[in-house]
A and B are shown apart, each in its own frame.
Chain A
Amino acid sequence: MARQTVPGETAERRTLPAEDPAAQPVDVDAPPERRVEVHEPDRGRGAVLGEVIPEFVVLAGVVYLFFLAGDFSSRQQPGQLGPAFWPRLVAAGLAVALLVRIVQVLRERKQPVVRVVSEFDDIEDDDTEVHWPSAAVAMGLAFGYVVGTMFLGYMFATMAFLGAFSWAGGQRRWVAPVVAVAGGMVMTYVFVGVVYVSVPTGVGLFDTVTVAVYRLLGIQ
């Protein structure tokens, strides 16, 4: 690793092996005693595309919303700015920012990535990798909970969610289903009976059983 001094700065720099291809320069005013890390970027087209495609998609959406704003009708008086003014202003700002970002990524794709090392990096940095299958499971459970609530009702959906989430999260002991069932009932009692939030009771048999459980718990 070469230690080099930046001309005009006394910052120490180290050249590190290729690491995070998505590493971006940080817009932080770097006092001289801070180190600057230089990473070799992933030069693959896939990496670059992966960085700009989301921005392009959002940009396309923003342009569409900009033009859609022309259809807003209202009872505005002549000479007033109207309901489309602000959304168009914001959409224009967002589009410009996205374009700047896209240009940044494309211009810097073949250049080493520079990052100012913060004095708190060793405390803030969390090197934990994301396990994408687990992420997909978590998101699936999250959406499943919402959909499940509509059919099973809040109480049963909560029990199912707590059980599935704990199991998928690695809890295999007998405590997990107990926590799921007890947790579902406690949450139901607290939110329905104490806080008076009218959560869904589900459909068909689930509705019938939920209402029966409410009566057992003394919830009117």
Chain B
Amino acid sequence: MDVIGDMARALIDGGIVFWALVVLGVFIGLAVGVLPGLTFVMGVLLILPFTYSMDPGQALVLMIAVYVAGTYGGALTAILLNIPGEPNDVPLTRDGHLMARRGRAAEALGWAALAALFGGLVGWLALVFFSQLFASLALKFGSAEYFAIVLLGLTSVLALSSDSTVKSLIALFAGMLLATVGVDDIYGAVRYDFGTDTLRDGINYLAILIGVYALTEALTRFAERFGGKAGQQPANVRTTIPGLSAIRSRAGSFGRGMATGAFVSAGPGVGSTVGSFVAYGVEKQFGKHKDELGKGSPSGIIAPQAASTASVSGALIHLLVLGIPGSGASAVLLGVFQINNINPGPTIFTQQEELLATIFVGLFVALFVMFVMGVLAAKPMIRLLRMPEVYIAAFIVVFAYVGAFALRQSMSDVFIMTAFGVLGFFMVRAGYPLAPLVLGAILGPLAERYFQTTMIRNANDWTVFFTRPLSAALLAIAFVVFLVLTYRAIRASRVAKAAREEAMAAQAH
């Protein structure tokens, strides 16, 4: 594949429509980042119905533009109003807002914009130049290797969840069990349909995704009567790009953020939020300016923001090379592929070169448009917050309904989506995380398919997972992740036990 040539051709062939979609997608991404109650996963989900009548390349360009801009848009409110617009903006909020309070808001916004651009570009380079290498390796993968990768993804979801491990496990298994409803891929058996056509058709993971991400949030915000943090709109919003010498002095923070984002998102099922937190942790441990973190340091903005945007490419690598979604947003992108009967995987690099080139150039252009719009349009973006939140929530529901309906032109999916929206509301109240539920529903069927295929091909010889070197290596990594989980749980349990004993002793006195 002649990457540069194909990208240039895709850019020319795309014409004005291409540019319009990129600008629109970046605007939507920045807007969902800024608006409360909206995340970039929701942004990608809610525009899904608009993409059904589009060419797949156009649809993917639009959604990727939303995705990448969404990882940066929330930094605006985080810095200016101390309200992280997205979960991945939490680590940069303290340093960003402290800088703003000290009159350095423009500089803080500039650092965030630069970090998003550089992080995204490094991720883009990895996507364009390493994905083909990865794809040629993936051609050697059999079903055993794919099963091991999916298992690693499922384990990573648990290990990187900061919630109770047991609750995460329950949510994960619940998602996997829900995904078994319907006709099974391997044997053609109808499972758990209870005599209804609705369940015989299976539960589409996108309906679950829309329900728990979009509808749950709208219900939650309504139930909270749209209360919570409300920042005062700043009078003067502008962005100042730091100079070269300042950038050079923070080169380490950029490098650590980009590397962490790219490395962390190499794990399937791990998204930008985890990358952002891990990057902040790495910066705190190893950064040159680590003592400044939490006190208004640009490094506290640069590392997490660079990681967030870099992780978009990591998720895309997984999706394109293996057909396994690397994050919630890329799971929606997988839906676009499936709707257009395109199977992502290693062969896509030889069979869909034009589509790939369109994706690569779309991401590249979106990064620069995001940078420019983020710098120039910070003020109007913040003005969006003046919109009454109840209207935002109402339109989230409206978009969610059409999104679910349009999956299979069926009201059943709308009912399912609504049921999951309500379930998600109660799960959140009870402290159960939603991400494992969703990823279980997405990765569970893949795990079953690859597992069953391997067992059928190898006459039920389960040792094949360990005798094939690549599969064994991946399972070993999954085992290490499991050990980390176990260690963490035991350690937390010991800390908790000691704390309880102290508290009970203090009560006795």
Contact = CB atoms under 8 A, between A and B. Distances in A.
Interface of A: 2, 4, 6-9, 11, 13, 15, 22, 24-30, 36, 38, 54, 58, 62, 65, 68-69, 72-76, 79-83, 85-87, 90-91, 93-94, 97-98, 100-101, 104, 111-112, 114, 116, 118-120, 123-124, 126, 128-132, 134-135, 137-139, 142-143, 145-146, 149-150, 154, 158, 161-162, 165-166, 168-171, 179, 183, 187, 190-191, 194-200
24 contacts: A6-B495, A6-B499, A11-B495, A11-B499, A13-B499, A13-B502, A27-B165, A29-B491, A30-B495, A38-B499, A65-B177, A94-B173, A101-B170, A112-B503, A119-B294, A126-B228, A126-B229, A130-B429, A142-B421, A143-B418, A161-B394, A161-B398, A168-B222, A191-B402
Contacts of A150: 411
B189 A73 contact: yes
A131 B495 contact: no
Nearest to B394: A165
A162 B415 CA distance: 18
Contacts of B479: none
B429 to A, nearest CB: 7
A170 B429 CA distance: 23
B180 A90 contact: yes
B466 interface: no
B173 A135 contact: no
Nearest to B183: A83
A197 B401 contact: no
Interface of B: 49-50, 52-53, 82, 84, 90-91, 93-94, 162-167, 169-170, 173-174, 176-177, 180, 184, 186-192, 215, 218-220, 222-229, 294, 388, 390-391, 393-395, 397-398, 401-402, 405-406, 409, 411, 414-415, 418, 421-422, 425, 429-431, 444, 448, 451-452, 455-456, 459-460, 488-489, 491-493, 495-496, 498-500, 502-504, 506
A197 B409 contact: yes
Contacts of B188: 74-75
Given A11-B495, A112-B503, A123-B82, A138 B223 contact: yes
Nearest to B490: A27
A65 B448 CA distance: 17
Given A80-B456, A135-B219, A197-B405, 4 more contacts: A22-B431, A28-B488, A36-B495, A112-B499
A83 B185 CA distance: 9
A90 B411 contact: no
Contacts of A197: 49, 52, 402, 405-406, 409
Contact of A142 (B227, B422, B448, B452): B422
B93 A123 contact: yes
